[in-house]
Amino acid sequence: MQKSLEMVKLPHFVSVENLSVTTVKALIQRATYFQQGGNVPVWSKPIYAANLFFENSTRTHCSFEMAESKLGLTAIPFDPAASSMQKGETLYDTLLTLNSIGVDLAVIRHSQNGYYRNLINLSANSQLNLGIVNAGDGSGQHPSQSLLDMLTIYQQFGHFDGLKIAIVGDLTNSRVARSNMQLLTRLGAEVYFSGPEYWYDQQEFSQYGQYLPIDQLIGQMDVMMLLRVQHERHANESQFDAQNYHQKYGLTNARYQQMKDKAIIMHPGPINRGIEIDSKLVEAPKSRFAQQMKNGVFMRMAMLEAVINGRHLGGR
């Protein structure tokens, strides 16, 4: 990835579904440039962003705020609980309000899958003129997590071709699994799935990779990508047995010892220690959890810049 790739320009950044391999590589290159201390662009006018998080978040929310700060944007505080949405204002009308007072970009996390489609359709014939960056929608897409994961894998291996990558755990509820299985297969990696059968939907997942027990995968994989057990999305949570899950599907110390020398473990966070992973392994040599979080800031800078460019907000 030496040659300088074209500048990415997108009117919104809501999904990885239509991202080409060239675009992903350009974003990795741009995030790497920012990580290495490359100059941020000089904008021709002030650019304002608002971060609207309707689901809890630490990494994504703070990381977007950090990315905005490093890019020289001004973040306008928005708290859903203290907003007029509590009086019944719709999300569209909230965005129209923010846009009318000068906000150019809205970073949104929402529990509803695909919430952005309606907003983008409506904005085609309305006064709303604002870039939407999806910070995670229900169990749909998590493009910024997926792209920071691609950066982390690229930093480790320098390529994606033929890498064996297992996505393990709460698959059906996971926007991270959905985004990553799509991007990884497009980039040439071999994807495998593991975890409880009740969180595996063959019809949806089998087109992207094979489903196998973790003990058949662990010694063969280059990347073990663990997923958070999303307790808040489970109907029969009282039946969940953490110890049983850890022993059957989790990364125990015994399984860690079987991993290939150069293999890595990843997790989008937040981590349930002792469930997806033995607590002692969270900062083990093969763990890239902290690296993923560091990478998130620089990848989000690249994503925000792509939307600024796509909407010609900064004079470019």
Q: For residues 235 and 110, what is the distance between their CA atoms, to the nearest angstrom?
A: 19
Q: For residues 214 and 217, what is the distance between their CA atoms, to the nearest angstrom?
A: 5
Q: Is 270 in the site for ligand CP (CB under 6 A)?
A: yes
Nearer to ligand CP, 162 or 270 (CB): 270
Select from 30, 59, 178, 311 the one that contacts ligand CP (CB under 6 A): 59
Nearer to ligand CP, 26 or 50 (CB): 50
Select from 78, 268, 295, 306 the one that contacts ligand CP (CB under 6 A): 268
CA distance to 12, 45, 191, 281, per residue, from 106 (Å): 10, 17, 32, 36
Q: For residues 49 and 104, what is the distance between their CA atoms, to the nearest angstrom?
A: 6
For the bound state, the minimum distance from the C-beta of residue 279 to ligand CP, rounded and expressed in Å, comes to 18
Amino acid occupying residue 116? Y
Q: Look-up: residue for tokens 């470019």?
A: 316
For the bound state, the minimum distance from the C-beta of residue 306 to ligand CP, rounded and expressed in Å, comes to 19
Nearer to ligand CP, 230 or 258 (CB): 230
Of 231, 214, 134, 221, nearest to 173 by C-alpha is 231
Of the candidate spans 56-64, 231-239, 241-249, 277-285, the one that interacts with ligand CP by CB under 6 A turns out to be 56-64
Of the candidate spans 16-24, 77-85, 123-131, 263-271, the one that interacts with ligand CP by CB under 6 A turns out to be 263-271
Q: For the segment 145-184, give every residue that binds ligand CP (CB under 6 A).
A: 145
Q: For residues 257 and 259, what is the distance between their CA atoms, to the nearest angstrom?
A: 6
Q: For residues 303 and 107, what is the distance between their CA atoms, to the nearest angstrom?
A: 11
What contacts 21, CB < 8 A, 6 or more positions away?
186, 187
For the bound state, the minimum distance from the C-beta of residue 278 to ligand CP, rounded and expressed in Å, comes to 20
CB 218, CB 252: distance < 8 Å: no
Select from 94, 99, 123, 136 the one that contacts ligand CP (CB under 6 A): 136
Nearer to ligand CP, 132 or 218 (CB): 132
For the bound state, the minimum distance from the C-beta of residue 48 to ligand CP, rounded and expressed in Å, comes to 22
Amino acid occupying residue 238? S
Nearer to ligand CP, 25 or 228 (CB): 228
Total of chain residues touching ligand CP, rule CB under 6 A: 10
Q: Look-up: residue for tokens 């970073």?
A: 107
As a residue count, the chain comes to 316
Of the candidate spans 28-36, 54-62, 67-75, 76-84, the one that interacts with ligand CP by CB under 6 A turns out to be 54-62
Q: Is 60 in the site for ligand CP (CB under 6 A)?
A: yes
Q: Look-up: residue for tokens 């900062």?
A: 283
Of the candidate spans 10-18, 32-40, 58-66, 298-306, the one that interacts with ligand CP by CB under 6 A turns out to be 58-66
Select from 41, 138, 269, 310 the one that contacts ligand CP (CB under 6 A): 269
Q: For residues 136 and 138, what is the distance between their CA atoms, to the nearest angstrom?
A: 7
Q: Is 291 in the site for ligand CP (CB under 6 A)?
A: no
Q: For residues 182 and 15, what is the distance between their CA atoms, to the nearest angstrom?
A: 10
Interface positions with ligand CP (CB under 6 A)? 57-61, 136, 145, 268-270
